[in-house]
Amino acid sequence: MKKIFIALLIASFSLVSCQDELDTEPTGLSTKEGLVTATVVENSISSSYQLLSNTLNIMGEWNWNGGLVFQNDYIMQDIASDDMEKKWNSDGDQPWIDEINNFTFTSTNGGPNGLWKYNYEGIKRLNLGIELLTRSDIEAVTGISTDRKKQLLGEAYFLRSYYYFSLVTNFGDVPLIVKPVESLEEAFAVSVRADKAVVWNKIKADLILAQDLLPNSKYSSTTEKWRVSKGAVIALQAKVALYNQKWAEVIPLVDQLTTLGYSLNANYFDNFTVAKEYSDSEVIFSYDHQSNIVPKRGNGICAPLGWGFFAPSTDFLNSFEPNDPRKLYTVDVPNQNINKMLGSTNGTNKGNDDAPNNKVYMRYADALLWKAEALNETGNYSEAITIINQIRARARTTITANGAPVPAGTLPDRPISSDKTTIKNWLISERRAELGFENQRMLDLKRWGIAKEVMTAHGKNFQDKHMLYPIPQSEIDRSAGTLTQNPGY
């Protein structure tokens, strides 16, 4: 009998045992009839964060071809785009990444496979946790407080939404699984792809639940600031509205972030340096990497940076305006350091497979630019330009990575304009400079409808089918064809 998602869907009634919260596989002493403790409940949610990490080999042991050594955001969104190339000097290593880079990949490529498996593993863990937390007797059985139960459940709804956001934006229609799958029959029943509109609606519904459950503060916990906050929920709601072109919904959601205490950092690189983690004003959601933890919880993406695994494209380097300090903060070409990915400007963490720098997922500057885009689309051109100029002002008043002041006249304000296309082009340029190597570029190009145009100009063989990635062929095979493929693959 053929199987689908056997490793990812069938829960085997197991949850996390009493080990480190963020690092333990959700297996251990718990069944519907067995022992359920407060620790099991806590770890059922905490372990689900792990799939957002850059820690190496959490889904296998050096399974490069399967795309499972680390999560593939940098490959699927940056290398695939016009911003990044694979390696400073191509040497034939890991050809599946070259296939992503030049758009010759097929449904057997490791990139989509890894993206799919990471997201569904996270969803599997969350479905288990949500099932526990919504039990009517969970407080009496475990002694967990009502406030803590609400917080954990809010985190779970957000994280499940985040994983489904990744799936629907990269694959389109995907199986919508919202409870633990405990038999082959159930696995086959949920292997059918749900219409993307249904998936989007579930994302929105989960986020509404999450917002009502989480504390009305910048951090959900003062001692565990890495946890999902109400700000993260509101930011993802705004991003969902943006991707669905619900412009009027984006603007007030971004405004709510200000009331929670988010603002632009005075220094651009404060978003990425280890020294400012959880004390800055701008980062809304990040994964908490830490060194010297057993099991490992470090940022493993810094390891391949030691031999130049990720490199900027010439087009990306040339896209910056003169003296823009964000260029060097993103990439140091002479020293072949990607500063933003290293969390340092001097090569610290380079080659370290257990680095302490966090992976940033959402920050306030990104959200402000969503608002600027929504304002432009709704005809409020002056306020859209004001926000773009706010981002530029922060950049030009940031001390450069080498300590020198930014020359006068750098990044001048954009002038008054009522031309929607001109302002949109300013916005596109600003997002590229501000958010380079933050896993946004390819998704931006696709949602703007210019991916084919831009990538063709970049010399890439981007076809209409590449607006979505292929469903991994291995998953289709295991489903006996119940899971269908995206067109063109």
List, for residues 128-174, the tens digit of each pLDDT value: 999 999 999 999 999 999 999 999 999 999 999 999 999 999 999 99
Cα 427 from Cα 444, distance rounded (Å): 11
Which amino acid would we find at residue 441?
R
CA separation, residue 455 to residues 72, 443, 459 (Å): 20, 13, 6
Q: Which residue has the higher pLDDT, 230 or 181?
A: 230
Of the chain, the end-to-end C-alpha distance in Å amounts to 25
Residue 46 has pLDDT above 90, yes or no: yes
Cα 124 from Cα 345, distance rounded (Å): 38
Structure tokens belonging to residue 285: 């959601």
Contacts of 90 (CB under 8 A, 6+ apart): 98
Structure tokens belonging to residue 370: 């969503």
Cα 179 from Cα 218, distance rounded (Å): 30
For residue 16, the surrounding DSSP H or E stretch is none
Give the pLDDT band (50/70/90) at residue 260.
Answer: very high
- pLDDT for 136: 95
Give me the sign of the Cα torsion angle 318, 323, 326, 327.
Answer: positive
Per the CB < 8 A criterion, the answer to whether 221 and 21 are in contact is: no
Nearest to 178 by CA among 120, 229, 97: 120
Q: Which domains does the chain have, with CATH numbers?
A: 1-214 (1.25.40.390)
Using the 8-state DSSP alphabet, how is residue 378 labeled? T
Three-state secondary structure call for residue 194: strand
Per the prediction, the chain carries an average pLDDT of 92
Q: Tell me: the pLDDT tens digits for 2-44?
A: 343 444 444 433 333 333 333 333 333 334 446 899 999 999 9
Nearest to 465 by CA among 455, 475, 457: 455
Residue 92 main-chain phi, psi, to 5 deg: 85, -5
Per the CB < 8 A criterion, the answer to whether 349 and 355 are in contact is: yes
Q: What's the mean pLDDT in 358-369? A: 98
Per the CB < 8 A criterion, the answer to whether 179 and 127 are in contact is: yes
CA separation, residue 305 to residues 127, 276, 311, 338 (Å): 35, 22, 9, 8
Give the least confident one: 18-27, 59-68, 292-301. 18-27
DSSP 416-463: P---HHHHHHHHHHHHHHHHTTSS-HHHHHHHTT-HHHHHHHTT----
Cα 172 from Cα 467, distance rounded (Å): 9
Cα 271 from Cα 318, distance rounded (Å): 23
Residue 57 main-chain phi, psi, to 5 deg: 65, 35
Residue 368 has pLDDT above 60, yes or no: yes
Q: Tell me: the pLDDT tens digits for 74-116?
A: 999 999 999 999 999 888 899 999 999 999 999 999 999 999 9
Nearest to 412 by CA among 435, 395, 398: 395
Per the CB < 8 A criterion, the answer to whether 378 and 252 are in contact is: no
For residue 359, the surrounding DSSP H or E stretch is strand 359-363
Cα 320 from Cα 411, distance rounded (Å): 10
Give the pLDDT band (50/70/90) at residue 426.
Answer: very high
Residue 421 has pLDDT above 80, yes or no: yes
